[in-house]
Amino acid sequence: MGSNQKKKIRLLLVGNPNAGKSSLFNELTGLNQQVGNFPGVTVEKKSGNAKIAEHLSAEVIDLPGTYSLSPRSEDERVTFDYLNQKRPDNKEEIIVVIADASNLRRNLLLCSQLIDLNLPVILALNMMDIVQKNKQSIDIKYLSETLSIPVVPMNARLGKGITELKANITKFARKDRPPFISIIEGEKPIDNAQRRNQRIREIVAKAVTAEGEMKVNDLTRKLDAILTHKVWGYAIFLFILFLIFQAVFSWSEFPMQMIEEGFLFFGNFVAESLPPGVLNDLLVDGIIAGLGGIIIFIPQIAALFAFISILEDTGYLSRISFMMDGLLKKFGLNGRSIIPLLSGAACAVPAIMSARTISNKKERLLTIFITPLISCSARIPVYTLIIALIIPAEASIGIFNLQGIVMMALYLFGFLAAIGTSFFMKFFVKTNESSHFIMEMPIYRAPRWKNVGYTIVNKVKVFLFEAGKIIIAISIILWILSSYGPGDSFEKIDEKYASGLLEPNINNETMEEQRASAKLQASYAGQLGKFIEPAIKPLGFDWKIGISIITSFAAREVFVGTMATIYSVGDADNTTSLKEKMNQAKDPVTGEKIYTKATGYSLLIFYAFALQCMATVAIVARETASWKWPVIQIIYMGALAYFASLITYNLFS
């Protein structure tokens, strides 16, 4: 690798869960990351590009965590299969095994198996700071000579050892090396494992020396005594969730207001800069209104992702799994199910993928089925808009903001509906597999803010661009459907308003508003809304809400973009926010406000339960290898949403 010609290799990051792969991946790739799926499966694939040396770059792939090359879960099988594949591009590959240096014996098992496969391996001893705090030392030279591979000490969270790792990658050369253990013909697998573990114990005994008592784990044990307490642990967890939703509302208020004012200014500027006509209307009432209705909620989504990342980075999420195992078993799940359920607060798609870590098929299926009931970040725009319509910003209970309390209540409703559904389903889904819950608890650590920042940027980028493409497409289609009608319906409306047969003394502004409203109702979109209105009227929904519900099947957040487009079409006022327009909306027959508390709460409950995400449906079909379960999900969650919404509307009417 010492030539002057530019070269690109592939780095495969492999290691046990919680060994620090994500930290190393972030240090190597920075923001040059992509998230996709491994070919043929729906497990999330994180890849990125890294500059290793002046004439050497690398494609870096972060493989799912695994304890050994004997896979027990779908995630571990993906890593096993990927390491054993022969890729068509024949790109040179180097495996970087990230090991928790403070638990070297367990982490060397995976490394020893890769050595015996004669794969190109570099061992990165991560978390050396913990080794030092525990007054231990590791003989790096002895370890490297014994294993016949490069060994690099590092602390990936702080970026220490990255330069040394890159230097070893640059000068890496494949060479013959002795096997970790010799394969004996006819030997039983259990005897092979015993010999492997015996040699690992001998190596660790010589490589690691201790000079005092372990202090770091003592602190972790003391914190666990409080945070995983059978009573206080749950109370603390609920309190943390409560603070998160309070912060999501309060911290996001100012940036959201700035974004809203910015889009209103931009829309008005475009409207005044371009000549009146179809292009002007499409840009202002269609694309800008639709996108503005979604981008305004990025601060809240970023805040939610930040909190989830912090909980994970500190090691607290693993504790939540441990605490919840006993409770969730009663509902047909296990402790690992809580990770997909909590991840579902961000997005159901990767959350459902993460259920692959659950080895029991019944528990995995139940987790997949109920995860969409957890309120995801795509619901935040809907929740925030409706909550702001029916609950004043200054409303509070004591020192706590009422809007934040209602938001948290919606998440709790989703969780209760999820575990209730699982309890019901566990009697119908049969399995002969036994259930086990084994999860390693990492030590508590302060969050690495750079990693939190990378997570926020990447997650928001995925949300923005994935949702943005859908929103632009739907906004254009919806603008066309809202701006044109069948036959000569629009011409007849214009003739009616030009005939002078309207009520006397009506001013021009009111007349134009009535003309625009009449055209919207006569449009293709209006006809579609009127067609479904009888079915949703008992829920307190009008035809405009009906159109938004239909379009939001593409993605829940499209609801807000649709409402923004509908309330902008035919409206000459580009300075009024969507919330104000909806707040002023009145029933043309009764003259009463459309968005009453009854309608608002009914709509919130509907979106809390309904499965309106085509990506989630597709992922469930892939994960279960059948369309049976997603179809059942759509029917069940649709019925649950409809009847819960019906009850809510009647309670508040």
- State whether 148 and 251 are in the same domain: no
Write out the two tokens for 592.
């009463």
DSSP string, 608-624: HH----HHHHHHHHHHH
**pLDDT tens-digit series, residues 251-283:** 777 887 888 788 888 888 888 888 887 788 778
CA distance 545 to 393: 23
Residue showing tokens 């050595």: 115
Write out the two tokens for 585.
């909306």
- Provide the pLDDT for residue 513: 63
Q: Which residue has the higher pLDDT, 364 or 520?
A: 364
Distance of CA 618 to the CA centre of its chain: 16
Q: What angle do CA 556, 560, 563 make, to 5 degrees?
A: 125
Query: Which has the closest alpha carbon to 105: 131, 129, 87?
Result: 131
- Residues 12, 96: contact at Cβ < 8 Å? yes
Determine, yes or no, domain membership for 325. yes
- Provide the pLDDT for residue 504: 56
Range in 153-162, 238-247, 359-368, 431-440 the model is least confident about: 431-440
- Residues 304, 244: contact at Cβ < 8 Å? yes
Q: Could you tell me the maximum CA-CA distance found in the chain, to the nearest angstrom?
A: 102
Determine, yes or no, domain membership for 367. yes
CA distance 650 to 381: 25
- State whether 323 and 403 are in the same domain: yes
Determine, yes or no, domain membership for 604. yes
Dihedral of CA atoms 544, 374, 348, 335 in degrees, nearest 10, equals -170
Annotated binding residue at 267? no
Say how many C-beta atoms besides its own lie within 10 A of residue 445's C-beta: 15
- State whether 181 and 148 are in the same domain: yes
- State whether 207 and 266 are in the same domain: no
| 481-490, 540-549, 641-650 — most confident range | 641-650
CA 224 to each of CA 16, 244, 309, 315, 611: distance values in angstroms, whole numbers, following the listed order: 22, 21, 20, 11, 37
Write out the two tokens for 126.
């991560």
Annotated binding residue at 168? no
Which of 214, 240, 261 is the last residue before a domain boundary? 214
Write out the two tokens for 500.
């002078």
Q: Using only the alpha carbons of the chain, give its radius of gyration.
A: 29
- Provide the pLDDT for residue 471: 66
Annotated binding residue at 1? no
- Residues 451, 22: contact at Cβ < 8 Å? yes
- State whether 274 and 184 are in the same domain: no
Residue 245 has pLDDT above 50, yes or no: yes
Annotated binding residue at 26? yes
Residue showing tokens 């459309």: 594
Determine, yes or no, domain membership for 474. yes
Which of 182, 214, 246 is the last residue before a domain boundary? 214
CA distance 481 to 158: 54
- State whether 501 and 418 are in the same domain: no
Annotated binding residue at 127? yes
Residue 31 has pLDDT above 80, yes or no: no
Determine, yes or no, domain membership for 438. no
**pLDDT tens-digit series, residues 420-462:** 999 998 888 876 655 555 566 777 778 888 878 887 887 777 6
Which element (helix H / strand E) includes 163? helix 162-170
Distance of CA 455 to the CA centre of its chain: 10
The structural domain count of the chain equals 3
Say how many C-beta atoms besides its own lie within 10 A of residue 287's C-beta: 19
Which of 371, 404, 425 is the last residue before a domain boundary? 425
pLDDT cut 90: percent of the chain above it: 21
Which element (helix H / strand E) includes 506? none
- State whether 240 and 110 are in the same domain: no
Which CATH number goes with the domain that contains 45? 3.40.50.300
Annotated binding residue at 64? yes
Annotated binding residue at 359? no
**pLDDT tens-digit series, residues 369-395:** 999 998 887 788 889 889 988 888 788
Annotated binding residue at 49? no
Residue 653 has pLDDT above 80, yes or no: yes
- Please report which confidence band the pLDDT of residue 189 belongs to, taking 50, 70 and 90 as the band edges: low
Which residues constitute the domain of residue 118? 7-214
Annotated binding residue at 21? yes
- Provide the pLDDT for residue 96: 95
Determine, yes or no, domain membership for 404. yes
CA distance 603 to 459: 27
- State whether 123 and 257 are in the same domain: no
3-state secondary structure of 11: strand
Determine, yes or no, domain membership for 261. yes
Range in 56-70, 399-413, 552-566 the model is least confident about: 552-566
Range in 2-6, 35-39, 142-146, 494-498 the model is least confident about: 35-39
Annotated binding residue at 20? yes
- Provide the pLDDT for residue 632: 92
DSSP string, 111-156: HHHHHHTT--EEEEEE-HHHHHHTTEEE-HHHHHHHHTS-EEE-BG
Annotated binding residue at 39? no
- State whether 187 and 311 are in the same domain: no
Q: Which residue has the higher pLDDT, 320 or 297?
A: 320
Write out the two tokens for 84.
């054993």
Mean pLDDT to the nearest integer, 160-176: 87
Annotated binding residue at 280? no
Annotated binding residue at 653? no
Annotated binding residue at 81? no
Determine, yes or no, domain membership for 597. yes
Annotated binding residue at 22? yes
- State whether 286 and 409 are in the same domain: yes
- Residues 289, 564: contact at Cβ < 8 Å? yes
Reported pTM: 0.61
**pLDDT tens-digit series, residues 148-160:** 999 999 998 888 9
Mean pLDDT to the nearest integer, 637-641: 94
CA distance 87 to 90: 6
Residue 191 has pLDDT above 70, yes or no: no
Annotated binding residue at 332? no
Q: For the chain, what is the total number of helices (H) and then of strands (E)?
A: 28, 11
Q: Which residue has the higher pLDDT, 318 or 168?
A: 168
Q: Where are the alpha helices (DSSP H) in 208-315?
A: 216-227, 232-273, 278-281, 289-295, 298-313
Annotated binding residue at 65? yes
Annotated binding residue at 418? no
- State whether 237 and 356 are in the same domain: yes
Residue showing tokens 């990506």: 615
Residue 517 has pLDDT above 80, yes or no: no
Mean pLDDT to the nearest integer, 571-583: 69
- State whether 489 and 618 are in the same domain: yes
Residue showing tokens 């290793």: 52
3-state secondary structure of 444: coil
